[in-house]
């Protein structure tokens, strides 16, 4: 039996934000155009927290989420959470130089942008490489620098 997924799409300060809830947990937070206006109580609360974050009023999230991934991906996500708000780290420094490429691969699959702040991880050759595009990554990094 397939789990029911609720989806909420909204724009905030020009950014397209997509949220998905599955089985009472946030399962997706991304920046993409999509259909969806199912404002469940949980998605409404997540929307409020995302808007606070994008306004510089919040630095982390308090609501339930589910983060799938391999054991390696979970290590990458945990290390990413250790990078403080308003700061950056390199792919090579996250788990060691030999893991820079696998770290990048894991973060490219991160389904919870902002919750797992992969925008804080920068490449040596392209600091704005990001699943959702360089403009959004630059905007998020600037937001955090201005609200430390």
Residue 1 has pLDDT above 80, yes or no: no
pLDDT tens digits along 78-111:
999 999 999 999 999 999 989 999 999 999 999 9
Yes or no: say if 30 and 113 are a contact pair by the CB < 8 Å rule.
yes
Alpha-carbon gap, residue 38 to 60, rounded angstroms: 24
Tell me, what's the pLDDT at 11? Answer: 94
Using the Cα atoms of residue 5, residue 45, residue 49 and residue 89 in order, give the sign of their dihedral: negative
Tell me, what's the pLDDT at 108? Answer: 94
**Catalytic annotation present for 118:** yes
**Mind giving me the DSSP string for 3-69?**
PPEEEEEEEETTEEEEEEEETTEEEEEE------B---HHHHHHHHHHHHHHTTS-SS--S-B----
Alpha-carbon gap, residue 27 to 64, rounded angstroms: 9
The catalytic position among 115, 118, 121, 140 is 118
Residue 8 has pLDDT above 90, yes or no: yes
Alpha-carbon gap, residue 41 to 109, rounded angstroms: 26
């Amino acid at each position: 039996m397939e789990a029911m997924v609720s989806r909420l799409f909204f724009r905030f300060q020009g950014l397209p934000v997509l949220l998905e809830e599955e089985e009472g947990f946030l399962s997706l937070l991304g920046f993409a155009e999509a259909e969806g206006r199912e404002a469940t109580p949980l998605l409404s609360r997540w929307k409020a927290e995302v808007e606070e974050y994008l306004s510089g009023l919040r630095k982390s999230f308090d609501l339930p989420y589910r983060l799938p991934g391999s054991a390696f991906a979970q290590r990458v996500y945990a290390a990413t959470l250790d990078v403080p708000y308003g700061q950056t780290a390199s792919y090579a420094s996250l788990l060691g130089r030999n893991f820079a490429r696998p770290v990048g691969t894991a973060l490219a699959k991160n389904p919870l942008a902002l919750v797992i702040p992969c925008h804080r991880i920068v490449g040596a050759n392209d600091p704005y490489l990001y699943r959702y595009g360089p403009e959004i990554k630059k905007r998020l990094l600037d937001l955090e620098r201005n609200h430390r």
